[in-house]
């Protein structure tokens, strides 16, 4: 008598294959930090827990539909995983629902997306191919027909597996779902698919916040700002630039590690290095952007509010009430404009700029762009500044004009004739190409200064230069550690790499290097201070950088922070000066896990401040507030 052949149902095979593939992506492609064996175990378990739950649903269908469900579910799940992988390669982050609504930006990404697609990515679809093959060639063996009790058992076991995963995650990271600042923790502990379900729930909650907001939150927020952010002091520089033009240059993806540094024995930014000598240069100035990148940096500068943890404020809340810098300057007699050789709808700028009071937006239609003078994301920086001068001269004065550069943008493409220095040599093409494009932008800024002097605008203006966000993500840590001469990039190093250059150049002023911690949240009150404009009723979370009575920390959007003494990142507290890890406190609020008593008081302030800013934006609370009369 022959033994009866035992067939493994396709939903079991699909769960194992899909779970294994997802684990490999988590472990070897995503740069997810694992600090102990428990985290290793959870990371291994969660992709299988998700896969078994999703594919176990198939047993409730008849055989034909069961196989069809498995095929298309495996394909759809792989697409979701792959989109996250592409997004992660660029931003070292995971997709959120608001980012999906920003999909109209994808049409402008061009070569940026193509550079993120690798040939070996086809291997991600190997399990999908196997599932399709088995379902087509052996349908009778692969499908199952269970009684209702067996179906319930299959689904129940999958739910118990998922619950087991969550219990382990809560043991490892208490109050996991209450700590939404760090998406990596959510993916590491729950998996990317459960994270997306949680993200959908969060999106529904935030949409409801505006509906139910009534302004009663404002007195508490105003009290916090008055006690913690607002300074009544005035420095010696108050009004030093009264009635002068303000020219603000946003330096695309320029980080501070290139300043006063070399590659292949060549200075990377010779002009910016020299500019330090006659400018106010803040060497510990941090970008505070999140998923909105350049638009987030604009939002920070214009409003002194934090960007959102998910999506870009410019997109998700572009119609809110704000008390933005252009609006305030307009009341002081300033004309305001933006120069950016990109589509006006990118990041919803046309809507947002109009809402916050900009008078004119010189977008791509204002420029002559052709194949010779453009590369990557568009018009080269030298051409951009050259073509902008005529518009700048034609504006009524005083004016506040913002310039947003493009050339030093991922993937950092540059024509050979425009490269003044050689590429770096590492395993990262992105980092290798970064240095020549930064040098090109440096040369473009030098040319811009010369044009301002020739046009007669230089003496009557103050010129502000600021890096908008990082250019080199954590995905390139190995190459960065090679360039910086470090064994590895620690969480402390990662935070320090979020420093971006910030110059305030006032003709006739000697300036100097300022070492105090600072951030993009501080730009608005600082500029108003220099222009001699008092705005006592404003609600901002930044403070003037030239006063001594300043807030004692800089908060990053993911909950990390920098203070005079400490740097806190990824659940670890470091000495800011030495980078030494401070031992965790076993009696801390995190039950001895990734929590340090030294950093805890500031951490609580950071979480409160970020929460207050989010409440303002999600609830559109400024519609209830009268900025002309303190309430």
81-84 long-range contacts, CB within 8 A, separation 24+: 81/21, 81/22, 81/25, 81/124, 81/192, 82/121, 82/124, 84/192
Report the half-sphere exposure of 494 (CA within 13 A, side-chain side): 22
Query: CA-CA distance, 256 to 466, in Å (whole number)?
Result: 10
Q: Which of 78, 83, 107 is nearest to 94 (CA)?
A: 83
Q: Assess contact for 287 and 467: CB atoms under 8 A.
A: yes
Answer yes or no: are the C-beta atoms of 25 and 158 closer than 8 Å. Answer: no
- 294, 437, 526, 540: the catalytic one is 294
Closest of 564, 559, 590 to residue 575, by C-alpha: 564
Backbone torsion region of residue 227, taken as left when φ is above 0, otherwise alpha when ψ lies between -120 and 50, otherwise beta? alpha
Query: Within a 13 Å sphere around the CA of 578, how many CA atoms are in the beta-carbon half?
Result: 5
In angstroms, the CA 437 to CA 204 distance is 41
Catalytic residue check, 294: yes
Contact 561, 606 (CB under 8 A): yes
H or E segment to which residue 338 belongs? strand 335-339
Residue 620 tokens, joined: 């559109």
Distance CA 5, CA 12 (A): 17
Cis amide leading into 398 (omega within 30): yes
Is-contact 91 35, C-beta < 8 A? no
Q: Point out the residues that are catalytic.
A: 294
């Amino acid at each position: 008598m022959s033994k009866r052949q035992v067939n493994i149902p396709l939903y079991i095979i699909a769960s194992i294959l899909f779970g294994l593939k997802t684990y490999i992506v988590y472990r070897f492609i995503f740069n997810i930090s694992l600090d102990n064996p428990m985290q290793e175990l959870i990371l291994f378990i969660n992709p299988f827990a998700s896969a078994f739950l999703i594919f176990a649903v198939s047993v409730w269908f008849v055989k034909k539909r069961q196989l069809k469900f498995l095929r298309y579910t495996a394909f759809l799940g792989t697409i979701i995983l792959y989109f996250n992988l592409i997004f992660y390669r660029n931003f070292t982050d995971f997709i959120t629902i608001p980012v999906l609504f920003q999909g109209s930006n994808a049409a402008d990404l061009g070569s940026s997306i193509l550079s993120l697609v690798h040939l070996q990515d086809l291997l991600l679809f190997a399990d999908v191919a196997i599932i399709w093959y088995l379902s087509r060639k052996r349908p009778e063996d692969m499908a199952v027909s269970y009684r209702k009790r067996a179906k319930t058992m299959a689904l129940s076991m999958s739910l118990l597996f998922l619950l087991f995963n969550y219990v382990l995650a809560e043991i490892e990271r208490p109050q996991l779902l209450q700590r939404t600042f760090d998406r990596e923790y959510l993916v590491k502990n729950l998996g990317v698919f459960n994270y997306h379900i949680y993200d959908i729930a969060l999106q529904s909650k935030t949409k409801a916040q505006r509906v139910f907001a009534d302004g009663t939150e404002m007195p508490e927020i105003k009290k916090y700002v008055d006690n913690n952010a607002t300074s009544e002091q005035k420095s010696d520089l108050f009004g030093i630039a009264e009635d002068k033009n303000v020219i603000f240059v946003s330096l695309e993806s320029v980080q501070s590690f290139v300043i006063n540094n070399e590659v292949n024995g060549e200075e990377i930014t010779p002009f910016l290095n020299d500019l330090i000598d006659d400018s106010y240069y803040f060497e510990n100035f941090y970008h505070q952007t999140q998923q909105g990148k350049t638009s987030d940096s604009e939002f920070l500068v214009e409003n002194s509010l934090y960007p959102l943890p998910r999506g870009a404020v410019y997109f998700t809340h572009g119609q809110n009430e704000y008390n933005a810098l252009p609006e305030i300057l307009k009341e002081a007699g300033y004309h305001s404009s933006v120069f950016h050789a990109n589509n006006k709808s990118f990041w919803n700028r046309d809507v947002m700029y109009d809402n916050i009071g900009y008078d004119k937006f010189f977008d791509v239609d204002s420029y002559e762009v052709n194949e010779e003078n453009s590369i990557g994301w568009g018009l080269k920086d030298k051409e951009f500044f050259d073509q902008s001068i005529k518009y700048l001269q034609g504006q009524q004065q005083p004016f506040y004009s913002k310039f947003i550069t493009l050339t030093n943008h991922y993937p950092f493409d540059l024509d050979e004739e425009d490269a003044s220095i050689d590429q770096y040599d590492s395993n990262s093409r992105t980092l290798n190409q970064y240095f020549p494009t930064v040098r090109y932008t440096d040369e473009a800024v030098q040319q811009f200064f010369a044009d301002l002097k020739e046009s007669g605008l230089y003496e009557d203006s103050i010129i502000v230069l600021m890096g908008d966000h990082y250019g080199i993500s954590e995905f390139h840590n190995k190459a960065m550690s090679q360039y910086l001469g470090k064994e590895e990039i620690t969480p402390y190093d990662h935070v320090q790499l979020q420093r971006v250059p910030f110059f305030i150049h006032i003709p006739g002023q000697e300036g100097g290097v300022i070492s105090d911690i600072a951030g993009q949240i501080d730009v608005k009150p600082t500029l108003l201070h220099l222009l001699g404009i008092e705005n006592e009723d404003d609600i901002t979370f930044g403070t003037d950088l030239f006063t001594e009575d300043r807030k004692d920390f800089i908060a990053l959007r993911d909950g990390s922070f920098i203070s005079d003494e400490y740097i806190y990142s990824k659940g670890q507290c470091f000495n800011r000066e030495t980078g030494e890890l401070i031992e965790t406190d076993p009696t801390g609020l995190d039950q001895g896990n990734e929590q340090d008593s030294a950093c805890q008081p500031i951490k609580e302030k950071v979480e409160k401040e970020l929460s207050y800013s989010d409440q303002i934006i999600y609830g559109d609370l400024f519609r209830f507030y009268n900025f002309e009369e303190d309430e």
